[in-house]
Chains A and B, each alone.
Chain A
Amino acid sequence: MCFFCRERATGAPLTTAIALIPGEAQGKPLLLQTPLSFWGGYDSNTGQIIDQHHPDHGCNLAGCILMMESGRGSSSGSSVLAEAIRAGTAPAAILLKQRDSIIVTGAIVAAELYDI
């Protein structure tokens, strides 16, 4: 799932959000300090952040409710996210402040291919 949050991801409780990909999810909330590029920054085999320059390097995102300001990086990120969803290593839900076509595409395709 992907949400486009109207409220700040930190501090203030989320009051309204737009469901870009509707569904239900449960998991531990995890707020990233800076946006993550899934391509080059995320290992779809393990769910770990592998971008050495990322402040949350080493964090495992599998099954969490991932919150970050926006998406980032190469459009191949769609494939990496979809592959992680297939492999069961993806976040359970992703909340964003800005719409991001790369993340949304990964989620749309995984939903279509794997009936998730």
Chain B
Amino acid sequence: MTTVALDAVDKALLSGREGEAAALAMRLLIRFAEAVEAPRFIACTRAHIDGCLYHGAVSLDFVERFVTLQGRVKIPTTLNVGSVDLIHPELFNGADDLRTAGTRLMRAHEELGCVSTFTCAPYQTIFRPFLGEQIAWAESNAIVFANSVLGARTNRYGDFIDLCCAMTGRVPDYGLHRTENRRATAIIEVNDTQSMASDALAVAVGHALGSLVGTNVAAITGLPKTLTEDDLKALGAVAASSGSVGLFHAVGLTPEAQTLDDATQGHAAPVIATFDSAALSAILDSLTTARKGAHIAAVSLGTPHFSVTEFERLMPLLAGRTFRSDIYVNTGRGVLMELERRGWDKRLANHGVTLVVDTCTYVTSIMRKLDGVVMTNSGKWAHYAPGNLNIDVIFGSLEECVSSAEKGQLVRH
């Protein structure tokens, strides 16, 4: 077994001088660091916690232990989605005991000093990390966005360890925290994509990336310079669903990949795949599980949580239309405040759109009608919802989703 080197900060934490909660967290982190063969710890300056979603009694037992020990997080710490929309609790239609335990789990994290963001897009709040910052983030899409689009540094942390890092401000120094592990070891080429909607293109490339590279770091060449931050968010989210991607480089678009040579850190890397629009369209077709001609019960948007700029794209598409299918948009409470400021929450309600905050339609019981298929522009939602909700899905661009909701039937553009 590797022995982890502890410096004065680590030893102080372990000794209980910073409180019993910090000592417990440090003890767990040392066992974790030994198991992953990290040689030492370094300081981290932000954490994002994925422990708010209820998985059983252990979820609460863990957090309540820290609450009992009067723990407080040592660094700015944001929270991922929970099981309940605390702002619209009436949307929850699951079992009462899950509502009670799920709500308590979210509140217990607040008692530890975590910020009540309850969003899977913490990178689109004021808690956005910066280039080179060492952070301890959980939630697969947030991890890949922070690493790839912002150039911050985190491993794919998850339940329990994320909170231990927050309680100590320490993170094991291994994997993607280290420059040498961030170079692309494979290249994926994309050509001839002018005909595709940019959100659909991003999902197709992301799905291919995850399927091909698993946990490895790849560089993608040939993506149009017009891809937005929200497109890269969609790309990373599906790559972290079809595979376990923690970092990708989009050459010319992401900060550690101004050139291909930057992305590979000057090393040679093989081209493992080349895609044109026909191949990418075939990948998108594979995300659809529903039969042709199926009735569309609902459209779900905002996985990861819809940003203000995504609402800016959606609002004009809704104008003058009424909808046969239910429309749900998952978003963060910070974005909801901006919608309220603009009066858009009322306009959305008038169109029959249900805003879901603090949680997401594929992880909890919210959707009212599941008697047909559900359409989405999220590759991540399309990947997980059939298993979680036992439904069929159709993938389409944002424009196609809105047109299909109007007709109640699939419309392709």
Contacts and interface: CB of A to CB of B under 8 A. Distances in A.
Given A40-B387, A74-B140, A105-B161, A79 B59 contact: yes
Contacts of A104: 32, 35-36
A35 to B, nearest CB: 11
Contacts of A80: 55-56
A53 B361 CA distance: 23
Contacts of A79: 51, 55-56, 58-59, 159-160
A73 to B, nearest CB: 8
B27 interface: yes
B203 to A, nearest CB: 19
Task: Please classify the interface of chain B as helix (H, G, I), strand (E, B), loop, or mixed, using the class held by over half of its residues.
Answer: helix
Interface in B37-90: 37, 50-51, 53, 55-59, 61-62, 65
A78 B31 CA distance: 14
B141 to A, nearest CB: 11
B57 A105 contact: no
A83 B32 contact: no
Nearest to B31: A108
Given A74-B158, A78-B160, A113 B58 contact: yes
B257 interface: no
B157 A109 contact: no
Contacts of B21: none
Given A76-B159, A105-B160, A86 B58 contact: yes
A98 B61 CA distance: 29
B282 interface: no
Interface string A9-29: 000000000111100000000
A110 interface: yes
B388 A87 contact: no
Contact of B55 (A2, A20, A21, A83): A83
B50 A75 contact: yes
Contacts of A115: none
B156 interface: yes
Contacts of A82: 58, 62, 160
Given A20-B35, A40-B388, A101-B35, A75 B159 contact: yes
B4 interface: no
**Interface size class of chain A, counting residues whose CB lies under 8 Å from the partner chain:** 20 to 34
Nearest to A79: B55
A99 interface: yes
Interface of A is mostly: helix
A102 interface: yes
Contacts, number: 92
Given A75-B158, A101-B35, A113 B55 contact: no
Interface string A86-112: 110000000000010110111011101
Given A101-B35, A102-B158, A105-B32, A83 B57 contact: yes
B28 interface: yes
A99 B59 contact: no
A99 to B, nearest CB: 6
Interface string B306-320: 000000000000000
Nearest to B172: A101
A112 B161 contact: no
Contact of B158 (A2, A76, A87): A76
B62 A113 contact: yes
Interface of B: 1, 24, 27-28, 31-32, 34-37, 50-51, 53, 55-59, 61-62, 65, 138, 140, 156-161, 384, 387-388
17 contacts: A40-B388, A44-B55, A74-B140, A74-B158, A75-B158, A75-B159, A76-B53, A79-B159, A82-B62, A86-B56, A87-B57, A101-B161, A104-B36, A105-B160, A108-B28, A109-B62, A112-B27
Given A78-B159, A105-B158, 16 more contacts: A20-B35, A21-B35, A75-B50, A76-B159, A78-B158, A79-B55, A79-B58, A79-B59, A79-B159, A82-B62, A83-B59, A101-B161, A108-B28, A109-B28, A109-B62, A112-B28
Query: Which 8 residue pairs are nearest across A and B when measured between Cβ atoms?
Result: A75-B158, A83-B56, A79-B55, A104-B35, A83-B58, A78-B159, A82-B58, A79-B159
